[in-house]
Structure 1
Amino acid sequence: MRFVLGFLLALLFFWTPQTVRSHALDPGYLDLQQLAEGTWQVLWRVPDVNGRPMEIGVVLPNQCAPARGPQPASDSVAWVSRWVAECETEIAGQTVAIEGLEKQRNDVLLRIQPLESEPVTLRFTPEMTVLTVPERPSIWSVFTSYFQLGFEHILEGWDHLLFVFALFILVRDPWRLVGAITAFTIAHSITLALATLGVLKVPAAPVEAVIALSIVFLALEILRHKEGQIRLSEQYPWIVCFCFGLLHGLGFAGALSEIGLPSQDIPAALFAFNVGVEAGQLAFIAAVSSALAVWRLIAPSGFPRIYANATPVIGYAIGCVSVFWLVERVNGF
């Protein structure tokens, strides 16, 4: 009966579109690099949607020609176009727009590299498709943009969230949970930095498959839990989390490599993205903890029994979803 209930819960995940189940993070990227007075090199990177470029387009300030570039070509990951624009006046204080973004769920990063001032990174959203180029850019814009991307990535990456949720269910002791989360953080920070900087190169498909396998492992540990007995994964969860955190960091790096990092602000962007991931992870744990606290207040007497009965159902649901992801990702090699 518990398996049936878990299977039914898993179906809710199977009905979710693939773009939601996997990493939803794949923003566009617009890079404006000044070559000389009034001359700008434009790099426009458009996300891939089912083998075609997303229906969005960049519009430079009216003083720049051409304001729109050539049709982008595929680089097997996204669609890229490059051109040189001649601008009659300084673009500082002028507006740049992304047409069609209001119809999408993605964001677009704008990187501006003037000759005589610091680079600046801005962020287009479906709610804000037109931005004004600031006259005095700062590194703070890089931090805020990549922090928001990291925060949204963890909240939209269902596989990473499911791993954190399974860890929350498995580890009952608060201090062990804190240690496990800390180990997970340290581990994925290491591989995120190494992979993003090009020191470590691992194919994305096997990494995604092993991430799904890590969730399968936690689901099995949840189902094998017995009251009064502490399994090795529950007693020393930081060891398990550190090992799997290394793999999840490679997954984060794969998403970050799709965006690209500003060449002159790599440390700031990398740090901000990682902080954003951690903030999103902590926000998720806080939300789950708050929900359990409210449940305990509403039904204090029946909470232990209901929670004990619900845990195996949750374990089966997590297991079904993660096995589905594992088979799907291995099949996609």
Structure 2
Amino acid sequence: MKRALLLVLLILLVPVAGAQAHFTTQGYQEIVQDGQTVDYVLGLEEEALYTLADGRDKRAISAYLLPRVRVSSDGEACAGALKGWTPQRRSGEAYLRLVLQYQCASESGPFSVRYAVPNENLARFELGGQEGTFLFDPDNMVLRADDPPGFAHFIEKGVEHIVLGWDHVVFLIVLLLGARGFKDVFKLSAAFTVAHSVTLALALLGVVEIPGEIVEPLIAASIVYVAAAQVLGYQSDKQLWIVFGFGLLHGLGFAGAVTFPGGTPIVSALIGFNIGIELGQALIIGVVFPLLLWTRRYEWSKLANATAGSAAAAIGLFWLSQRVLGG
């Protein structure tokens, strides 16, 4: 019975050591309309594309891409063609810069883009007089230039990002491991919330710009620190300030998960996304902390906490090395 309960706790804390903590953008797009013509530049990892297309020639790549990358204007599909591609290097990886072109019957739109290639791809677009960015992923395959996401969409994105962002989840749970009661939980979560709200707002409003290559390794390092402190029993009288500082980092990480298509009310979207993050955070605390309090009635809970903290530190080190070395 004790082993089963310990296993449940570890599963909650450590879903998969090798799982991606964040979605990793595997490509890029530039979609620019000029009259009835839409020029579509698409960057994809070379070997991944060849594998998906089951071939390396223009015919195979066209046959794969064109049914999956579609542009429509005023509800009518635009005729597309693959014009060519050139190899390039990005972050040490071999990419192909593909050039597609679409001819549309209407230049006034409204425009939509459906992207069904199974990867994540950050798109910059200029369509129908609107400009913006959009993150395509398996859950968000359609960009509508005339239909910017609403308030509820950004609440949903905030909940989704913290619940599915394993580095944020692990960091939060490790903080809960060391909390003695609900008063501690309130103080720690308040410090974390205020801090990440500040940097989230500053980053999304363009006041602060720090590359993900710097932020993501530091987020992993924050997990290693809090987990190691938990295992070693280290208590600092500046703990709230430490959590606040790490919260600033996580806020920058949150900012990397949301994009604003043209026409989106930025302040409204920012508030919605932040509300979603808080709802997701409350959900994690509401599920995990009562379970932790229950386990503390048993002697084996000390071993469970130490094991969970050690596992979190190991995962944090794995993510840190992965993000520093680009693995």
Structure 1 residues 64, 81: CA separation in 2 closer, same or farther (over 3 Å shift)?
A: farther
How far does the alpha carbon of each residue in 1:248-271 deviate from its partner, in whole angstroms, 9 at most, with x for none? Answer: 122223444xxx432442333333
How far apart, in 2, do the equivalents of 1:152 and 1:323 lie? 24
Tell me the TM-score normalized by structure 1. 0.66
Kept in 2, the 8 Å contact 1:46–1:54? The answer is no
Q: Secondary structure at the match of 1:166?
A: helix
Q: Secondary structure at the match of 2:115?
A: strand
Residue of structure 2 equivalent to 1:247: 249
Give the counterpart of 1:194 among 199, 202, 223. 202
How far apart, in 2, do the equivalents of 1:50 and 1:162 lie? 33
- Letter matched to residue 275 of structure 2: V
Residue of structure 1 equivalent to 2:180: 172
Percent identity, aligned pairs only? 28
Task: Give the superposition deviation at 1:163.
Answer: 0.5
Give the counterpart of 1:87 among 89, 104, 111. 104
Q: Secondary structure at the match of 1:59?
A: strand
Kept in 1, the 8 Å contact 2:150–2:269? The answer is yes
Residue of structure 1 equivalent to 2:268: 268
Residue of structure 2 equivalent to 1:216: 224
- Letter matched to residue 213 of structure 1: A
Structure 1 residues 132, 287: CA separation in 2 closer, same or farther (over 3 Å shift)?
A: same
Count of aligned pairs = 297
Task: Give the superposition deviation at 1:151.
Answer: 2.6
Task: Give the superposition deviation at 1:138.
Answer: 6.0
How far apart, in 1, do the equivalents of 2:313 and 2:241 lie? 21
How far does the alpha carbon of each residue in 1:14-73 deviate from its partner, in whole angstroms, 9 at most, with x for none? Answer: 9744xx23312549888877766xx47566666758776996632123734334665677
Kept in 1, the 8 Å contact 2:14–2:312? The answer is no
Give the counterpart of 2:297 among 299, 303, 306. 303
Q: 1:325 aligned to 2:319?
A: yes
Structure 1, unaligned stretches of length 5 or more?
none
Q: 1:59 aligned to 2:67?
A: no
- Letter matched to residue 63 of structure 1: E
Kept in 2, the 8 Å contact 1:154–1:161? The answer is yes
Cα root mean square deviation, aligned: 4.6
Residue of structure 1 equivalent to 2:55: none
How far apart, in 1, do the equivalents of 2:112 and 2:245 lie? 46
Kept in 1, the 8 Å contact 2:132–2:260? The answer is no
How far apart, in 2, do the equivalents of 1:327 and 1:119 lie? 36
Structure 1 residues 247, 310: CA separation in 2 closer, same or farther (over 3 Å shift)?
A: same
Kept in 2, the 8 Å contact 1:177–1:237? The answer is no
Structure 2, unaligned stretches of length 5 or more?
1-5, 53-64
Q: Map residues 114-125 of structure 1 onto 2, 5 A cutoff.
A: 114=128
- Letter matched to residue 303 of structure 1: R
How far apart, in 2, do the equivalents of 1:149 and 1:108 lie? 16
